[in-house]
Every structure is written in C-alpha cells, then in structure tokens.
Amino acid sequence: MEHYHPLSFGTVSVVQKGGSLQITIPVDVAKLMEVKVNDLVRISFDPFTREMTVSKECIRVVSRREAEILYLLQSAQAYLSRGHYILNSNRHSRDYVHIRLALAHEQYARQIGQAVLELLEGERIDAVAFFTVGGFKLATAVSMKLKAKLVVGEKLGRKNKTIEVAFYNLNELERNDRILLVDDVLTTGESLRAAIRAIEKEGRESVAAVAVVVDRSQGEHVDLNASLFSLTSISLREYDAANCPMCKQGLPTVDLSRADIEETATINSLPESQRPVMTKAYKDFRAMIATVKSKKVQDVEVHKVER
C-alpha cells in the first residue's frame, strides 16, 4: 500500500494513523481546491525549500518506508540548501544532503538499519562491510541485528584517477560467506565498485548485495554486479563547473568531494548544533579502523612467532 508524505509544514498537516492518513487542511484552502472530506488528495514535499504541495494530481507518491526515511533526514538537519557544494562526482550543486550526519546519530542509524533489514528480508547475509564514515554506523547496526561479521574498511583517496579502498579484516571471513556492502549514498557507483574490487581482489566470494540509504543516480543504470537495495531516492540539480550558475555568481564553494577523508570541510558545512555529533562519528570511525589494523599487525606477529 502506498502512503503520502507524513510531514507537517505551514497550514497543511499530514499524519500517519495506522493504515491510513489523517489529512488536515484549512477550510479556505479546501474550498479553493474544491476538496471534500473523502476526496483523494496528493501530497508532494520539497525537503530543501520545505514546501508542501497538496493537489489532486500526483507528483510523487512515496512508500511509508520512504516517507519515514525522508522525515528522519529532515529531523537530523541533513538537508543543506542555498549554498554552493562540490559533490563527490566533482559536479556542483546548490543543495546537499548529509546522509552521513543522520547516520552519525545512534538512534537514527538503528532506525535506518532496521529499514535496511526489512528490504533484505529473505537474503542470507553472513558479513556486513563498510568503507566510509557514512556506512560505519549503518553497518554496525545491521551486523548487530543479524549477528553477522563486521568487515572494516576505508576509502584511501585516488591514485591514477582511480578510487582506492582498503579492507583490513577480510581474513576473518569464510569462503562461502555472503557479504553485504553498505554505504550512505549511491551516485555514480564509482566508490562502491572500488570497494567491491578491493573485496574480490582478496579472493573472497563476490559481494552478494549492496544497500544504500539514498539513491542519487537520478535514474541512471549503475551496474555493481550485485543486488542493489536503496531506501529512497533524492535528486539534486547538478552542474558541471563550466556551467555552474553559483560559480558565475562568485559564490564561495564548500568542497565535499572528499567528505569521507577530509573531516574539517564536512564538519564546518554543518549547523553548529550538529558538529559535535559528526565529530564523534569521525572519531569512532578512525578508532575502529585503528583497532582492526592493530589487531591485524598483532596477528601477523603471532603467526611469525608460531612459525
């Protein structure tokens, strides 16, 4: 069953009540729209401008799960608008969605993790892998629920124009383990493909599934050679640097193209109230990587002694 966006802004209120929606519209608005009590109305919502449209023509209908995720992102203050952002693809946008910020909140990460599990119902997963600060909390939440192994990795940057990803405890996997790779956003799929290559390079089984919170591929086919699951989709208006209207206006840029590696730009782009949450997420992410890398060194030293 499809549901409409359960958000409240301005004069229109939409509330989920069990299997149906309670929609409250002021009398004067209802009269202008010729809406009656039992009429079917359509709700669309722009998270950046916070504009809600109530009409008799459907612009976008979202599932209940999608509505909950979009609402959660808004609650986490993940939507940044009226700026000038450089994206991971090196394209520019006036808007940005900080999915990693929502995942930095423990309670939101658990909720999003539960939504991922519902998407994966019926899939056998033995290990959950992450390689970004955005995927870190999500992978932790999902692996704990599944009682699955946690595979720790990180994005190292680019070498010869190719993204490099390293995983540090693939040796803990068994040959037939089914791996779920998680991340916050899918855009071009370049980073996810790099992560999959890094896993398969070790001679492990192929990644069985990939799960992301937001699909920003804007309908482009992204071939990952694995089952792909996403909780919702969001489209940003993107521009090449040569045709960017914000560049022509001389607006200063916020470079988030290396947000998983360069922490300062990411943290400074956030509302001040949210910076401590994101700072802690980066700290926990780095600590997890350091712990696993240290254990790997210790295991090698023990192996040498035993030999």
- Per-residue pLDDT of 11-20, as tens digits, reads 344 555 455 4
pLDDT score, position 274: 92
Give me the domains of the chain, ranges plus CATH numbers. 8-62 (no CATH), 79-295 (3.40.50.2020)
Query: What pLDDT band is residue 51 in, cutting at 50, 70 and 90?
Result: low
**How confident is the model over 36-62, as a mean pLDDT?**
56
Task: Count CB-CB contacts under 10 A for residue 116.
Answer: 25
204 has pLDDT over 80: no
> What mean pLDDT, rounded, does the chain reach?
81
- pLDDT of 121 above 50: yes
The pLDDT > 70 percentage for the chain reads: 74
pLDDT of residue 9: 29
Residue 115 in tokens: 């939504």
At residue 157, the pLDDT reads: 85
Residue 116 has a pLDDT of 95
Structure tokens at 92: 């520019």
Q: Could you read off the pLDDT of 253-296 as tens digits, one per residue?
A: 999 988 888 888 889 889 899 999 999 999 999 999 999 998 86
The SS3 assignment for 298 reads: helix
The band of 1, judged by pLDDT with boundaries at 50, 70 and 90, is very low
State which amino acid sits at residue 274: Q
pLDDT the model gives residue 8: 30
Q: Which DSSP string do the residues of 211-251 spell out, in sequence order?
A: EEEEE-STT-----SSEEEEEEE----EE-GGG-HHHHTTP
Position 237 pLDDT exceeds 50? yes
The neighbouring-strand residues paired with 44 are 53
CA dist 218 → 205, 214, 215, 232, 307 (Å): 30, 11, 7, 11, 54
Cα–Cα distance measured from residue 301 to residue 297, given in angstroms and rounded to the nearest whole number: 6
Surface-to-core class of residue 258, CB atoms within 10 Å of its CB (0-12 exposed, 13-18 middle, 19+ buried): middle
Beta bridge partners of 215: 186, 233
CB 95 within 8 A of CB 236: yes
The DSSP annotation for 77-117 comes to: T-EE-SS-EE-TTS-EES-EE-HHHHHHSHHHHHHHHHHHH
Distance between CA atoms of residues 90 and 83, nearest Å = 15
d(CA 136, CA 142): 10
Query: Considering only CA atoms, which of 180, 280, 39, 153 is closest in space to residue 270?
Result: 280
Q: CB within 8 A of 161, min separation 6: which ones?
A: none
Beta carbons of 6 and 16 less than 8 angstroms apart: yes
Residue 40 is predicted with a pLDDT of 55
| Cα–Cα distance for residue pair 299/306, rounded to 1 Å | 11
CA–CA gap between residue 111 and residue 61 (Å, rounded): 22
The 10s digit of each residue's pLDDT in 77-112 is 888 878 899 998 889 998 888 999 999 999 999 999
Residue 307 confidence class, pLDDT cut points 50, 70, 90: very low
pLDDT at 118 over 70: yes
Q: Determine the pLDDT at residue 303.
A: 43
3-class SS of residue 287 = helix
Q: How many CB atoms lie within 10 A of CB 65?
A: 14
| Max Cα–Cα distance, the chain, nearest Å | 84
Please state, in angstroms and rounded to a whole number, the distance separating the CA atoms of residues 226 and 206.
Answer: 8
Is residue 62 predicted with pLDDT exceeding 70?
no
Q: How confident is the model at residue 170 (pLDDT cuts 50, 70, 90)?
A: very high
The confidence score (pLDDT) of residue 181 equals: 97
Answer yes or no: is pLDDT of 139 > 90. Answer: yes
- In this prediction, residue 217 has a pLDDT band, given cuts at 50, 70 and 90, of confident
Residue 124 has a pLDDT of: 92
Q: Is 14 exposed, middle or buried (0-12, 13-18, 19+ CB in 10 A)?
A: buried
